[in-house]
Amino acid sequence: MAFIRTHVVAALLTVFSAAAFAAVPATVYKSPACTCCEAYISYLKQNGFEVAAVNRDDMQQIKQQLGVTPGMGSCHTARIGRYTIEGHVPAAAIKQLLASKADVVGLSAPGMPQNSPGMGEVKPGTQPVYVMRKDQRTDVLYGRF
Ligand SMILES: [Cu+2]
């Protein structure tokens, strides 16, 4: 099992290192008072994203515009490439999605999960990340990151 995991990680690193040269632009929409949003923005910057933070008072409207699946909302909403990234989604999941070019709306870490990036100590491999799809299903696990 450890052998397989090592090889999967090595393969993923190869995929990502090609894209790691250029910072990936990301726009993060958040309400002005949100401190965990700030922590998540710092996390994204540390993980190779070039972040534009936009304060908004109409986050519900933004989420609707960007196609966040009802019931999968969190605090901040990001637009990265053609995808909407809702909440405290780990960078590895975002990079995997960008590389896959999957035809989905984006990813979500619904709610405010403890130990997700920006929400305390990160425990890699434990954070469930869900796919936001055009059919608005809410039960499709993308993986644990
Ligand atoms: Cu938050």
- Domains of the chain plus CATH, in order, are 22-144 (3.40.30.10)
Q: How far is the CA of 29 from the centre of ligand 1 (A)?
A: 12
Answer whether 42's CB lies under 8 Å from 56's CB.
no
Query: 3-class SS at 79?
Result: strand
The answer, yes or no, to whether residue 30 has pLDDT greater than 60, is yes
Distance 108 CA to ligand 1 centre (A): 12
**What is the pLDDT confidence band of residue 89, given thresholds at 50, 70 and 90?**
very high
Ligand 1 centroid from CA 109, angstroms: 10
Predicted confidence at residue 113, as pLDDT, reads 95
Give yes or no for residue 71 having a pLDDT over 80. yes
Mean pLDDT over the full length of the chain:
91
Question: Looking at residue 61, what is its pLDDT?
Answer: 98
Rounded to the nearest whole angstrom, what is the distance from the C-alpha of residue 86 to the centroid of ligand 1? 10
Nearest to 37 by CA among 126, 131, 117: 117
Q: Which residue has the higher pLDDT, 6 or 64?
A: 64
* Model pTM score: 0.85
Q: How far apart, in whole angstroms, are the C-alpha atoms of residue 125 and residue 122? A: 9
Q: Give mean pLDDT, residues 3-28.
A: 65
Cα 67 to ligand 1 centroid, rounded to whole Å: 18
pLDDT band, residue 22 (cuts 50/70/90): confident
Task: Check if the beta carbon of residue 14 is closer than 8 Å to that of residue 41.
Answer: no
Sign for the CA dihedral angle at 132, 137, 141, 142 comes to negative
Residues with CB under 5 A from ligand 1 (ion): 36, 75, 112
pLDDT at 56 > cutoff 80:
yes
pLDDT of residue 14: 52
Instruction: Evaluate if residue 1 carries a pLDDT over 80.
Output: no
Per-residue pLDDT averaged across 112-127, rounded? 95
